[in-house]
Structure 1
Amino acid sequence: MAIPHPIPYQGSKRNLAKYILECIPNNVERIVEPFAGSAAISIACADQKIGNHYWLNDINEPLAKLLSKMASNPNEVIQRYEYIWNGQLEGDSKEHYNFIRSEFNNTHEPEMLLYLLARCVKNAVRYNEKGEFNQGPDNRRKGKNPIKMANDIQGYGELLQNKITVTSLDYVEVLKDTQTSDLIYMDPPYQGTKGSSKRYIQGLDFEKFIEALEDLNKRNIPYIISFDGSTGNKIYGSSLPDYLNLRRINLNAGTSSQSTLTGNPEQTIEALYISKDVKISENKLKKIQYSSSPKQLSLEID
């Protein structure tokens, strides 16, 4: 059976999960995702029976509620999503989408967020300065069919029911409550998203993030971070500082969909940073390392 992926989310590490899991020791007790998003890594770990418990945290509270409810009451989510999705078949689907978006910004109902993510342009969440969801609909499609969505939600529930803790906290609070038997996987917002970009509901303070990593190092907490990357001759975000003593490998995330649309397909490379307390052999890392020589790239922050 395919690994379920109920939340369509731009930037999800679903396609890179098989490589990231290669870096996670099998004896981990708990997987912690302080920036859970679609929870792709925890879902993949549960599928491969890596870890016994999963802590999913996201500062986006409706998203956190959705992650929780799909495990605790999947049938209710399935039925509500189907009802919302079917509403777009009864008239102007764009008008329906805009109505649901307006209602979501008032109610923060998690199932409405699921529909918006499934139908919006590029599955890309966007927020305005008021913290309201403002991404428009993709007029070429209606979003994931309720039958397919139901299968994914049921699969998610089967994997994670009674095995997850879900919170909506500042990531620093989560990190402070971790221990050496945990494995923390972090996929934080790219640098430069605070204030000017609307990709995330909250941006990342780089200095605060580095301080949190220093504390993890002092406490010998193992962690893995997806952070910066590149597409063609553009890079996204700056490298993490050398003094953190992290092993960095490059993963090939495939051809950029945007570059394909422009007729110049380019490979997207994502950097993975692995802390000294993650016990993994260098030979194993070499097997998943993208071997192409890095170029001198120009910085572009999304």
Structure 2
Amino acid sequence: MRNLPHPIQYQGSKRNLAPIILKYFPQKVRRVVEPFAGTAAISIAAAAKQIARQFWLNDINKSLIKLIEIIIESPDEISGLYSKIWREQHNDSVEHYYQIREMFNRTHDPEFFLYLMARCAKGSVRYNAEGLFNQSPDKRRKGTRPEKMEKNIFGVSFLLKGKCTFSDTDYKKVLQCVAPNDLVYMDPPYQGVCGERDSRYYAGIAFDDFVVALDELNKKGISFIVSYDGRRGTKSFGNPLPDFLNLTKIEIEAGRSSQATLLGRDEITVESLYLSPALLENSPKKQNGYFETGYKTEQFLLS
């Protein structure tokens, strides 16, 4: 699955973890719902595996979800616009980046956003307190070449075009509309192993509200998977979800982080998945006794 198309290099994306996350998906579902879709890495992987024929991609970041929609539904348009912006880079390509950033903050046009994400430092989307994109450019490169970008855009469109619903609403409104034959995958902000404020979003989510929303999903018999807390070395990040939700916790060993490697530290990054009771009820893994001895640790080393 490493050859799956991904036009956007997005810090926090579950692209590399998608193969192991999909191990806990049912073989077939009516629809995959992502209330915190980001760049839709899980839906792209699920579409490639033909797990579902319908997808609901939601993200409170309106510019991001609009870009994802155009990539999927209008690949010719967005790849052409990206190529034009990329080829307009001149000798002072850093100044060009700042000009595009200023234009994006005024207009929120998706083609500007795509260029910024392809060129920004570490693929790391950042906003300031006023909600303006403020990440600096990667001065060592000029961003993805148009030919490669076009290939990735058309690859994603091939997998998802005509199969998606797009929205930019609050996640709780999405969860109110899901059905028992959906599979909900959630990777909410302000959790995970970064241990810092998630600047990809203007605001986070309240932990207590999120727990209440998960409890409501359980009461309705909804199948869901949550990527939430984690740890790096001996340091833990994020609040673990409470026991009364009756979720099964899976720990994924994702290898050493790039930061730990640079610092010469032998720190393993571990990310947590929580699986809902409804998901496990008909899981072949449960029927084979896989979950009978408590939560599991999976090893998945990133190359």
Give me the TM-score of the superposition, normalised by structure 1: 0.90
Equivalence for 1:188: 188
Give, in angstroms, the shift of residue 254 of structure 1. Answer: 2.6
4+ residue segments displaced more than 4 Å: 283-286
What SS does structure 2 have at the residue aligned with 1:25?
A: coil
* Count, aligned residues: 289
In structure 1, the gaps of 5 or more residues are 293-302
Deviation readout 1:229-267 (Å, 9 max, x if unpaired): 112222220111111000001112232111122222522
2:249·2:296 contact (CA, 8 Å) conserved in 1? Answer: no
Give, in angstroms, the shift of residue 83 of structure 1. Answer: 1.3
CA distance, structure 1, for counterparts of residue 217 and residue 232 of structure 2? 30
1:183·1:223 contact (CA, 8 Å) conserved in 2? Answer: yes
What SS does structure 2 have at the residue aligned with 1:183?
A: strand
Give, in angstroms, the shift of residue 27 of structure 1. Answer: 2.5
CA distance, structure 2, for counterparts of residue 267 and residue 142 of structure 1? 32
Equivalence for 1:93: 93
Give, in angstroms, the shift of residue 69 of structure 1. Answer: 0.7
Equivalence for 1:37: 38
Equivalence for 1:290: 297
1:107 is matched by which residue type in structure 2?
A: T
Equivalence for 1:266: 267
Equivalence for 1:142: 142
2:126·2:135 contact (CA, 8 Å) conserved in 1? Answer: yes
Equivalence for 1:296: none
In structure 2, the gaps of 5 or more residues are none
Structure 1 pair 156–291 and aligned structure 2 pair: CA distance change class (3 A):
closer
Deviation readout 1:178-234 (Å, 9 max, x if unpaired): 0000000000002499x9653423211111111111110111111000001112222
Give, in angstroms, the shift of residue 148 of structure 1. Answer: 1.1
Give me the TM-score of the superposition, normalised by structure 2: 0.90
Equivalence for 2:162: 162
CA distance, structure 2, for counterparts of residue 169 and residue 7 of structure 1? 22
Give, in angstroms, the shift of residue 56 of structure 1. Answer: 0.3
Equivalence for 1:249: 250
1:57·1:171 contact (CA, 8 Å) conserved in 2? Answer: yes
Deviation readout 1:271-299 (Å, 9 max, x if unpaired): 0000001032245867x94368xxxxxxx
1:7·1:38 contact (CA, 8 Å) conserved in 2? Answer: yes
What SS does structure 1 have at the residue aligned with 2:229?
A: strand
Equivalence for 1:124: 124
2:57·2:65 contact (CA, 8 Å) conserved in 1? Answer: yes
CA distance, structure 2, for counterparts of residue 174 and residue 166 of structure 1? 11
Equivalence for 1:71: 72
CA distance, structure 1, for counterparts of residue 289 and residue 97 of structure 2? 46
